[in-house]
Amino acid sequence: MKTRVFKTIGIICLLLVTVFSFALAIGKNDKSYADSTLIYQVDFSDSNDYGKNGASNLQSASFVNNGGVSFVKDSFLNKTAVQLTSTGVRQNYIKLPSDIFNGKTSVTISYHLKVDSTLPAFSRELEYGNGTNRMVYMPFHLANYFGYRIEKNGVDYAYAGQDTSVQGKTEGKTNLPNVGTILPLYNGWVLRSYVLTNTYFAVYQNGTEILRKSGDFTASQFYGASGYVYLGATDMDETADFSGSYADIRVYDGALTPTEVESEYGVNYTNYITDKWDFENENANNSIRDYHGNLVGSASVKKVDKDGKQVGVLALDGTNSSDMLARTSMTVHPGFITGHREMTISVDLKISSDISSYARVFEFAVDKTTYMALYAGFGGKANVRFEFTKDSNSTREILTNADYMLPLDKWINVTVTLGLNNAVLYVDGLPIVSAQGFKFNDGIYWDRQSDNLTSWEG
């Protein structure tokens, strides 16, 4: 049997939305943006004053450091990051002045964020208040399926609740996250923004809005003589401190849009590749995060000629296909999908002409009926088909074009983009099929690395 080879498997967050938003930004003249000013910026670049505010005369940020605060140069996008490691309660964290809220109707708080997968339950990524009003942000809430809990004065604004339609579909687990739950991207960088106004509160991630709630979130209500702004700790109880990293913390005195935040930071979708298996070092390691591949059966990583150049590839020969746990493949823990409200999967591959029916390019599964799969032969050989099963084998989202056959015995690129409400499948950059109303939900992959789930690729 001929061997199938895979050049690169990667996930890029928010591809379509980011590209589209940049197109809209060209020549834009938005008054609300023009009226917004950068009033606070801490980029940790000054080793003599790591907390220096480079945007205004507001006081510098300060650090409570009992052995768990460190600074890492060129950590992300050539920026210095502050890394917090939890060692107890209010032991290691960052303090910003409450003055960032003083007299402000609207405020945008933004930073690059990396959530450590070992962070304590209920720990605070961000918390601010003044004794009367308070908002808390918890990226790992045990009752919230490892998702974000965001609350104002005890009222939840991001909290999953129970989705009965998917109970029992993940190895007997119940209460999986609803579509729309904010799940953390563990051990990888995202651009996170929070917007407070007198009519709504919003959360942005990597150039798209992922949460909006109506209400009075006027920024000045959080200012006061006893006001505080903590990144990494809480003032309200004895919860252990946060573990993770921050870079380029900014505060604007206005409500920026996702496009404007991206423009301010000078980023686009290429800065948010979350996982990449390129096989160039002749192993199956992920070069970005620690979700490394495991070679099973006769799977191998080797160098081959591709367009006159030697490149690393994953080579699969289709053997042991009858034994699900021993079939030739590369396995990856499916927890790497968690935290992708939208996502793009792109792979360069060369498919042999004797491909079998129902052969998968990849399948990421949490059980036999709940999975995400790309077929390179569905029914007939070389039919391309993408499936996402939301909760059972009878409720699937499907992308397929019965009139299109994948090219065989040549290198091609196959890319699937999953937006908030749409999906597109491309071959060599050309859209083969698209669907509006396609409902992707990363919630079925909610478990952290410690959970022993199974994933099959190839």
Q: Taking Cα atoms as reference points, which of 28, 94, 13 lies closest to residue 264?
A: 28
pLDDT for 145? 61
Amino acid code (one letter) for 309: K
What pTM was estimated for this model as a whole?
0.85
Question: Where are the alpha helices (H) located in 7-134, listed in sequence order?
Answer: 15-25, 31-34
Helix, strand, coil fractions of the chain, as percent rounded to 5 = 10, 45, 45
Q: Taking Cα atoms as reference points, which of 135, 88, 82 lies closest to residue 107?
A: 135
pLDDT for 238? 96
Rounded to the nearest 5 degrees, what angle is found at the Cα of 273, between the Cα atoms of 272 and 279?
Answer: 160
pLDDT for 170? 44
Instruction: Give mean pLDDT in consecutive 10-residue pieces for the chain, a chain of 458 residues.
Output: 51 31 30 74 95 93 97 94 97 97 97 93 95 92 73 82 42 52 86 97 91 94 95 96 97 96 92 92 91 92 91 87 76 85 92 84 80 84 83 74 90 92 94 89 62 40
Distance CA 200, CA 212 (A): 7
Cα torsion 396, 426, 357, 294 to 10°: value is -80
pLDDT for 83? 98
Neighbours of 431 (CB within 10 A): 12
Q: Which CATH class is domain 36-267?
A: mainly beta
pLDDT for 443? 73
pLDDT for 146? 65
Q: Where in the sequence of the chain do the CATH 2.60.120.200 domains occur? A: 36-267
Write down the architecture of domain 4-14+272-457 according to CATH.
Sandwich (2.60)
